[in-house]
A and B are shown apart, each in its own frame.
Chain A
Amino acid sequence: DAGVIQSPRHEVTEMGQEVTLRCKPISGHDYLFWYRQTMMRGLELLIYFNNNVPIDDSGMPEDRFSAKMPNASFSTLKIQPSEPRDSAVYFCASSLPLPGSVDTQYFGPGTRLTVL
């Protein structure tokens, strides 16, 4: 398996522009997670899906952030409009279900976003 695939790997944009990050999870994984990593706050969960349905979006910082999962093999995280404080590395991860707990999450290589 190719693992979790993310695109683009790097994104540089100007404040106010729309940014779309993409993720393809590992085939057969029911769960998909979006994380943001910064030096100050570490790795933070933004939102996660189970079988394409958003389960918990409490980590989404503002209404400027939205995420969708139209099918089992594709998800997007959109920021509109983008702001300099959104600059971070965004990771997508996927996992199998594990009753009563959380199964191993496998991470993609990340998208480094810079908002000027």
Chain B
Amino acid sequence: EDQVTQSPEALRLQEGESSSLNCSYTVSGLRGLFWYRQDPGKGPEFLFTLYSAGEEKEKERLKATLTKKESFLHITAPKPEDSATYLCAVVWADKLIFGTGTRLQVFP
């Protein structure tokens, strides 16, 4: 059973068109959820950590939120430089379990 599921797999947005990426998880007793950004040919780059339902964190055009079943990464007025694959990961047994990511493309 998949523990972390991300949707959609791919998302194409016009510059300025806000949207949200979803990360749903099935682990019980969540001890942390991470968001990473990955550019082609590079390693994942840390964005946010969320620990409890109701928690929110923001960075520039990105805002991450957390409920008991899922997390959202909201992108407000995206720019082409926001194009990347966004990965979420949950803490399970002292490890990170990653989703397969959402590939975001923002067109000018």
Contact = CB atoms under 8 A, between A and B. Distances in A.
Interface in A85-116: 91, 93, 100-102, 104-110
A61 interface: no
A48 interface: yes
Nearest to A3: B43
A107 B39 CA distance: 12
A68 B98 CA distance: 24
Contacts of B97: 45
Interface size class of chain A, counting residues whose CB lies under 8 Å from the partner chain: 20 to 34
Nearest to A110: B43
Nearest to A48: B95
Contacts of A48: 95
Given A42-B101, A101-B32, A102-B95, A109 B42 contact: yes
Nearest to A56: B95
A106 B46 contact: yes
